[in-house]
Amino acid sequence: MSNTDQHLDHLDQLEAQSIYILREARVRLKRLGLLWSLGKDSNVLIWLCRKAFMGELPFPVAHLDTGLEFPESYEFRNRYAQEWGLNLIKDECPPIEMTDPTLPPGTRIAARKSLGLAAALEKYQFDGLITGIRRDEQATRAKERIFSPRGLDGAWQAAHQPPEFWDQYTIERHPGTHTRVHPLLAWTEVDVWRYIKREEIPLVPLYFAKDGKRFRSLGEIGITFPVDSHATTIDEIIDELETTRTPERAGRSMDHEAEDAFERLRATGYL
Amino acid sequence: MANAALRIDSLSTPVQSQGANVKKAPLAPYPIVIVGHVDHGKSTLIGRLLHDTDSLPEGRLAELKKVSEQRGLHMEWSFLLDALQIERDQGITLDTTRIWFRTPKRPYVIIDAPGHREFLRNMVTGAAAADAAVLVTDAERGISEQTRRHAYLLSLLGVRKVIVAVNKMDLVDHAEDAWKGVAGDVSDYLQKLGIEPLYVIPLSARHGDNIAARSEKMAWYRGPTLLEALDLLVPAAPRTEAALRLPIQDVYRKGDTRLAVGRIETGRLKVGDKVEIAPTGQPATVASIDAGKGSVPEARAGQSVAVSFIEDAALNRGQIIAPAGHMPHIATTIRVRAFWLDPESLTAGSRITLRLTTSEHPVVVEKFERLVDVEHLTDGEGSELGQGGIAEIVLRSSAPIAFDHASDLPITGRAGLARGGRIVGGCILLGAASNVTVAGPVTAVNNSVNRAAFEARNGHRGGVIWLTGLSGAGKSTLSMGTQRRLFDDGWRVAVLDGDNLRKGLNKDLGFAPAERLENVRRVAEVAKLMAETGTVVLVSLISPTVELRDLARSIVGDGFHEVWVKADVTTCAARDPKGLYAAAQAGKIQQFTGVSAPFEAPAKPDLVLDTSEMDIPTSSELLIAHIRRHLALSQADGHAVGI
């Protein structure tokens, strides 16, 4: 991938910036964890960590397990946790009865992850959590900071975010709070796919079309639905994304149940 | 009819698909920030831009209509970006956001920035990531407070490509005069900041005039539409040709090898390169570079790398790897132009943290030099900087800081300001300042006899004659001879000789750049104290760089005379009175000026004594004449009056 051009290639730039962020997180936060959803973005994240930290992953990787993942996802998790030498945390999320009953039904399933996350924070005392969210996925995520301070119970105070510029990040240490670190914030969906292709990063096969349908975004069974597609290779997926007008999270119920459903989830700790 | 059909057809084709059959490496989206005063229509402009380029995802328009109607509004474009409930309910943008779109030419990321002064921290967050800006101004209301403040901040953030959008032309009947009035005001203001506006476009965001399509209502306007203007912007050049700056982010170990990791901010780095590590200046040679895909022979600006060195160098986060001989400046007191974003004001004596790339320095606000009145661009006095304010201040650190001037190397010439881990402001670095004023618990005590009284009794003024030049140029010989002659004439003359001082006052210091700086600082401070008692102080010190001599000049103030004792290296090495050149050439002395460290010739010395052309007695005569001319109080017969 050498290029004689003066400019770094766009993917090189994104990679270098993400590695910079990961290394910064490692210096500035003492007890780091990485959230692995088993989806394409967090696979890219693990890949970047191994580059940033000279082939190793120097902190645990947590899969917040609802028990509702697709069988292909579990198979993928078990294989690559071993192959990549991950220190895997796979605690089960609290049941749906524990979630806020005023939330719409699909959103409540997703809210189990917020509870699972709160439990993991308590149990492992993380002060930094690395996640694979991107600004182009969803309008409230577009307002995120790269280093995002979370209050007690993981609360996101969207209206009171600190300034962030010139790669200078806010890290405040108060008991019971933590910092979310978002190394992929500047990436777009198609950037992720191009990078997966270039680096040959393994994926859950559900992303590729079968019988005219594929998953564009992977989540729990029952609240994640496939979209119409004939893309069976990464190249075909990239072509599809360059022309589609359907948003990435169209197949995610909780984004559409109410205007503020996703924001409410996020305010209480969801990714 | 055929025309209309064509139009609809081209509209329904997603812009993304144009040129999709040409397979090329993807371009990085060009980052544009939209700034301006609140309610001048920034969010509407963006909504319209996305709509008119057909860049909205499916269902988004319907969703917007629905939420607008729920709030009793017709069609609120700004809801596209103002995704938070509180933003929609209050009808204001709180935080910056990003949205992607593309033209046939290239992809863009549009950064929206809030216009309320209260949310300036979010405006800065957005604008700092941009390469160019669209400054939105209301055609009816004209240039307003935040228009100016945003423009000023753009200049501090280094965003110098600015398109001015004169919005709401529908409210002024699309009149050319109205546009001209606003255009003139905004352009005048920007020019005072050194920004030349690229285009000043009359438009109406609400109605889509001159956004993507040329407006028939403003046929008098011949410039580009907003979309055309965006496509005309030229991206910033890569930073590979500037001097190397690689701030160390962390130090890893791999087996027995220690690796400095970090991102190359400017320049390039090759295996085998000789570098220096600022601020200590320790030399090192690059042994290997890893840029994420194994070993590479070379890396350049923008890349995150892991570097090992042949020498066993002391590596720490915050140090800056630079080319040998091209280190950053090093100082403990720095003048900066700062912007402040915190509700709690910054005051003289405040303790904050300066965060310059990966280094962190606790600093004290030593002095307020001026407050900037953004409205009139005039200087004000004061010692308090409130939220949204801009000022030039002096920061003092107890440890040396390696930095560049913002005008030379912007990335290592700027810094964040933090308090308790939270970013509360930022600054660009203007240069080293002297440590003349003392802030904090130390109170200056005045001499019981003032300088004029000393000088009247001595019959001559006090002053500092700073002799700079290579080792062996004749500084010590000249100063000792001159002291004798003036003493015999009844003058009070002291000599501060570099070599002698290093045996006492400065015996804890070596020759690294930071230590040379401290050496000069101490000598200048002592010389100043003596000059204040009416003494003529002859300082003989190599002081090889402009920066060191400027520091001395700034400490001493009036009565500082820079004298260049000039002799070339060959002459000095031939004299070699102390055997130092022989030792340096044999590699026994590191960082020896003229052999392994540079000597920067003074640009404007007060006197030049070329000792390779003249003998020492002649040079001494010229020096004495210079001193008499400038420091004698009475010169009736060309001699000073004795006691």
Q: Give tens-digit pLDDT for B393-419.
A: 999 998 899 999 998 999 999 999 999
Whether B5 shows a pLDDT value over 50: the answer reads no
The pLDDT tens digits for B327-344 are 999 999 999 999 999 999
The pLDDT profile of chain A, 271 residues, written as one tens digit per residue, is: 344 445 678 999 999 999 999 999 999 999 999 999 999 999 999 999 999 999 999 999 999 999 999 999 999 999 999 999 999 999 999 998 999 888 888 888 888 988 999 999 999 999 999 999 999 888 888 889 999 999 877 788 888 899 999 999 998 878 889 999 999 999 999 999 999 999 999 999 999 999 999 999 888 888 889 999 999 999 999 999 988 877 787 777 777 777 777 888 788 778 7
User: Taking a C-beta distance cutoff of 8 angstroms, is the pair A167, A216 a contact?
Assistant: no
User: Taking a C-beta distance cutoff of 8 angstroms, is the pair B78, B43 a contact?
Assistant: yes
As to burial, measured by CB atoms within 10 angstroms (0-12 exposed, 13-18 middle, 19+ buried), residue B622 is middle
As to burial, measured by CB atoms within 10 angstroms (0-12 exposed, 13-18 middle, 19+ buried), residue B556 is buried
Please provide the DSSP assignment of A133-198 as one string: --TTT-TTGGG--SEEEE-GGG---GGGPPP-BTTB------TT-EEEE-TTTT--HHHHHHHHHH
B238 → closest Cβ in A6, A19, A171: A6
**pLDDT confidence of residue B267:** 96
The yes-or-no answer on residue B543 being catalytic is yes
Q: What is the interface size between A and B, counted as CB pairs within 8 Å?
A: 160
| Mean of pLDDT over chain B | 86
User: Taking a C-beta distance cutoff of 8 angstroms, is the pair B260, B371 a contact?
Assistant: no
**pLDDT confidence of residue B634:** 59
Cα dihedral A99, A100, A105, A110 sign: negative
Q: Which chain B residues have a beta carbon less than 8 Å from that of A56? A: none
Same fold: B239-323 with B451-631: no
Please provide the DSSP assignment of A230-271 as one string: ---SHHHHHHHHHH--S-GGGGBGGGTSSTTHHHHHHHTT--
| Whether A143 and B84 lie within 8 Å, measured CB to CB | yes
Q: How is residue B374 written in tokens?
A: 């953004």
User: Taking a C-beta distance cutoff of 8 angstroms, is the pair B64, B79 a contact?
Assistant: yes
Q: What residues does B285 pair with on adjacent strands?
A: B274
| Whether B290 and A15 lie within 8 Å, measured CB to CB | no
The pLDDT tens digits for B226-240 are 999 999 999 888 889
| Whether B124 and A6 lie within 8 Å, measured CB to CB | no
Whether B16 shows a pLDDT value over 70: the answer reads no
Following CA atoms B609, B614, B617, B622 in sequence, which dihedral angle do they give, to the nearest 10 degrees? -40
Residue B244: which residues within 8 A CB-CB, separation 6 or more? B264, B266, B267, B268, B269, B273, B275, B321, B322, B323, B326
Closest chain B CA to residue A166 = B128
The CATH 3.40.50.620 domain(s) of chain A lie at: 10-187+259-267
CATH class of the structural domain B451-631: alpha beta
User: Taking a C-beta distance cutoff of 8 angstroms, is the pair A195, A44 a contact?
Assistant: yes
Going by their DSSP bridges, the two strands B384-385 and B378-380 should be labelled as: unpaired
Candidate CATH numbers 3.40.1410.10, 2.40.30.10, 2.40.50.140, 3.50.50.60; the one for domain B329-432? 2.40.30.10
**pLDDT confidence of residue B479:** 92
User: Taking a C-beta distance cutoff of 8 angstroms, is the pair A119, A33 a contact?
Assistant: no
In the CATH scheme, what is the homologous superfamily, with its name and number, of domain B24-232?
Answer: P-loop containing nucleotide triphosphate hydrolases (3.40.50.300)
Going by CATH, does the domain composed of A10-187+259-267 fall within 3.40.50.620? yes
d(CA B89, CA A263): 14
d(CA A121, CA A105): 25
Residues found in chain B: 643
Q: Which chain A residues have a beta carbon less than 8 Å from that of B291? A: 16
Highest mean pLDDT range out of B3-12, B57-66, B424-433? B424-433
Provide the terminal-to-terminal Cα distance of chain A, rounded to the nearest Å. Answer: 33
Task: Please give, rounded to a whole number of angstroms, the shortest distance from the CA of B154 to a CA of chain A.
Answer: 13
User: Taking a C-beta distance cutoff of 8 angstroms, is the pair B345, B327 a contact?
Assistant: no
A158 → closest Cβ in B95, B99, B416: B95
Query: B259 and chain A: CB distance < 8 Å anywhere?
Result: yes
- Residue linked to tokens 């904090």: B440
d(CA B156, CA A37): 41
| Whether B292 and A23 lie within 8 Å, measured CB to CB | no
Task: Please give, rounded to a whole number of angstroms, the shortest distance from the CA of A95 to a CA of chain B.
Answer: 28
pLDDT band at B10 (very low <50, low <70, confident <90, very high): very low
Cα dihedral B201, B205, B208, B212 sign: positive
ipTM greater than cut 0.90: yes
Helix (H) or strand (E) holding B43: helix B42-52
User: Taking a C-beta distance cutoff of 8 angstroms, is the pair A148, A96 a contact?
Assistant: no
The pLDDT tens digits for B502-544 are 888 888 888 888 888 889 999 999 999 999 889 999 999 999 9
A77: Cα separation from own chain's centroid = 15
What is the DSSP code (8-state) at residue B593?
B
Q: How is residue B51 written in tokens?
A: 């709509």
d(CA B261, CA B607): 47
Q: What residues does B237 pair with on adjacent strands?
A: none
Q: How is residue A252 written in tokens?
A: 């995610």
d(CA A62, CA A19): 20
Domain boundaries, chain B: 24-232, 239-323, 329-432, 451-631
CA angle A196, B30, B246 (to 5 degrees): 75
Instruction: Determine the topology of domain B239-323 in CATH.
Output: Elongation Factor Tu (Ef-tu); domain 3 (2.40.30)
Q: What residues does B200 pair with on adjacent strands?
A: B164
Following CA atoms A168, A169, A170, A176 in sequence, which dihedral angle do they give, to the nearest 10 degrees? -160
| Mean of pLDDT over chain A | 90
How many CB atoms within 10 Å of residue A38?
23
How many CB atoms within 10 Å of residue B295?
11
**pLDDT confidence of residue B2:** 34
Closest chain B CA to residue A249 = B57
- Helices then strands (H, E): number in chain B? 16, 30
B554: Cα separation from own chain's centroid = 20
d(CA B327, CA B307): 18
d(CA B548, CA B523): 11
User: Taking a C-beta distance cutoff of 8 angstroms, is the pair B427, B340 a contact?
Assistant: no
Q: How is residue A4 written in tokens?
A: 């004689």
Closest chain A CA to residue B27 = A10
Q: How is residue A147 written in tokens?
A: 């280093």
3-state secondary structure of B428: strand
Give the predicted TM-score (pTM) of the model.
Answer: 0.75
Amino acid at A45: L
Rg (CA), chain A: 18
3-state secondary structure of B185: helix
Angle between helices B176-192 and B145-157 (to 10 degrees): 40
| Whether A19 and B292 lie within 8 Å, measured CB to CB | yes
Following CA atoms B115, B120, B126, B128 in sequence, which dihedral angle do they give, to the nearest 10 degrees? 130
